[in-house]
Amino acid sequence: MKTLNVMLTATALILTAGIAQADVRPDHIPGLLKSGEISSFEKLNQAALDKHPGATIVDTELDHSYGKLVYEVELRDSKGIKWDVDLDAKTAEVLQDKQDT
């Protein structure tokens, strides 16, 4: 019985940790926009594109990272190079800008 309890507890902790790291659910986004907890996606997209003029957006995600809401943008520049740009979802401050390897 002890082994079963330990296994169930470990499983619960793993699942909880996974949820804490998960993307923000789409149904939460309108409330976050309305409350001002995140900037408009137009502003966030433009901040990412400003780092790589001429690039196009391939993918975006709103996630919990760095202890805050982070807007993650994947770009492809005019040379075909992929870039990952992480922005503070509230302020549009660039937190990370790195070439995708």
Q: How far apart are CA 27 and CA 2, in angstroms?
A: 40
pLDDT for 100: 87
Contact between 72 and 47 (Cβ < 8 Å): no
pTM of the model: 0.76
Q: How confident is the model at residue 13 (pLDDT cuts 50, 70, 90)?
A: very low
Q: What is the 3-state secondary structure (H, E, C) of 3-27?
A: HHHHHHHHHHHHHHHHHHCCECCHH
Q: Could you read off the pLDDT of 17-64 as tens digits, one per residue?
A: 333 445 899 999 999 999 999 999 999 999 999 999 999 999 999 999
How many structural domains comprise the chain? 1
pLDDT for 99: 96
The CATH number of the domain where 86 resides is what? 3.10.450.40
Q: How far apart are CA 54 and CA 47, in angstroms?
A: 13
Parent domain of 56: 2-99
